[in-house]
Amino acid sequence: MSAGIKEYLEKDAVILDVRTLDEWNEGHIKSAKHIVLNLVPLEIEQIKSWNKPVIAVCRSGGRSGQAAQFLKQNGVDVINGGPWQNVDQHL
């Protein structure tokens, strides 16, 4: 999994954190964008407008997996980065 993360970061991917606001406030990747999982479908146009690959992250990888699946179905180049700390250690 981490090889994918490194590749995506090299492609200037946007890190998308889909955790709750409380979780986000407890700690997050500085450069990440925060869109709570249930709002991702409403924000799909904004996400597509970034025109960049996306690395979805959350606390354990479950919610980011759901987000990644949805985004992929909607034509976004995305991977599930799993827990946000996973991606943070590559930065």
Q: What integer pLDDT is reported at residue 7 of this predicted model?
A: 95
Confidence of residue 25 (pLDDT cuts 50, 70, 90): very high
- Closest to 48 (Cα-Cα) out of 13, 74, 18, 21: 74
pTM value is 0.95
**Residue pLDDT, tens place only, 48-88:** 999 999 999 999 999 999 999 999 999 999 999 999 999 99
Q: What do you get for the CA distance between the two ends of the chain, in Å?
A: 15
Question: What does residue 60 show for φ and ψ, rounded to 5 degrees?
Answer: -125, -15
Domains of the chain and any CATH numbers: 2-89 (3.40.250.10)
**Residue pLDDT, tens place only, 30-41:** 999 999 999 999
